[in-house]
Amino acid sequence: MTGPESEGLQLRRAVCPGSFDPITNGHLDIIARASKLYDVVHVAVMINKSKQGLFTVAERIEMIREVTGEYGNVVVESHHGLLVDFCKERDIPAIVKGLRAVSDFDYELQMAQMNNGLSGVETLFVPTNPTYSFLSSSLVKEVAAWGGDVSHLLPATVHRALVRRLAEKG
Ligand code: PNS
């Protein structure tokens, strides 16, 4: 092992969790900002078996790795189970979440308080860049499915994959 951890220095770690079906420019903005604040940012693609995604978890991970590679300190993984267990297993003390609008706040506050009560993990809220305050993966998929242009809302590779997948589905 080389680097700060080999010298006994603890790396500051945070996690950006989500479904990322697929990752949008809004997600990417939060991950990029978190990557400047922490030594290592774990992106956790949370598996929800009751929700059929447009992309498989493996595809989502591959897309996220591709678009976050340039940051140099982002690790992309999946997790089936509680987010607090993902954090415990990796010694991650902080969850970083984007807040788009007041409408996000109620549920995000509940999750933050639940997670803190379960394990002591902290949640830090980052205000979403106003350019992306309306943006969600669901909305992007809906607009794209009806032929709307969402190319400015996704990384180019993700946009290409979305157009391809929607065409396959017919
Ligand atoms: O991108 P999403 O779907 O809005 O992300 C929500 C997500 C996956 C971050 C949240 O549902 C979650 O943390 N799920 C993992 C299971 C869990 O820990 N549930 C208890 C939350 S208090």
pLDDT at position 7 over 80: no
The residues that are catalytic are 27, 51, 100, 137
User: Do the domain assignments include residue 147?
Assistant: no
Give the total number of structural domains in the chain: 1
- pLDDT tier at 134, thresholds 50, 70, 90: very high
Is 114 among the domain residues?
Answer: yes
- Report yes or no on 152 lying in a domain: no
Considering the domain boundaries, does residue 105 fall inside one? yes
**pLDDT tier for residue 2 given thresholds of 50, 70 and 90:** low
3-state secondary structure of 127: strand
Checking if the pLDDT of 138 tops 90, the result is: yes
Report which protein residue has its CA nearest ligand 1's atom 2.
18
pLDDT value of position 79: 98
Cα of 45 vs centre of ligand 1, distance in Å, is 9
- Confidence tier at 39 by pLDDT (50, 70, 90): very high
Average pLDDT of the segment spanning 68-86: 98
Q: What confidence category does residue 9 fall into, taking pLDDT thresholds of 50, 70 and 90?
A: confident
Q: Domain of 21? A: 13-134
What does the alpha-carbon distance between residue 54 and residue 91 come to, in Å, rounded to a whole number?
31
Average pLDDT over residues 66-87: 98
The closest-lying atom of ligand 1 relative to the alpha carbon of residue 21 is: 1
| pTM flag (> 0.85) | yes
Residue 22 CB–ligand 1 contact under 6 Å = no
Residue of minimum CA distance from atom 9 in ligand 1? 18
Q: Has residue 54 been placed in a domain? A: yes
β-bridge pairing 40-46 and 122-127: unpaired
Contact call for residues 74 and 68 (beta carbons, < 8 A): yes
In a domain, 110, yes or no: yes
Note whether residue 88 is domain-resident: yes
Residue nearest to atom 8 of ligand 1 (CA): 18
Q: How far apart are CA 97 and CA 46, in angstroms?
A: 14
CATH of the domain at 80: 3.40.50.620
Q: Please check whether residue 55 lies inside any domain of the structure.
A: yes
Mean pLDDT confidence for 133-162: 98
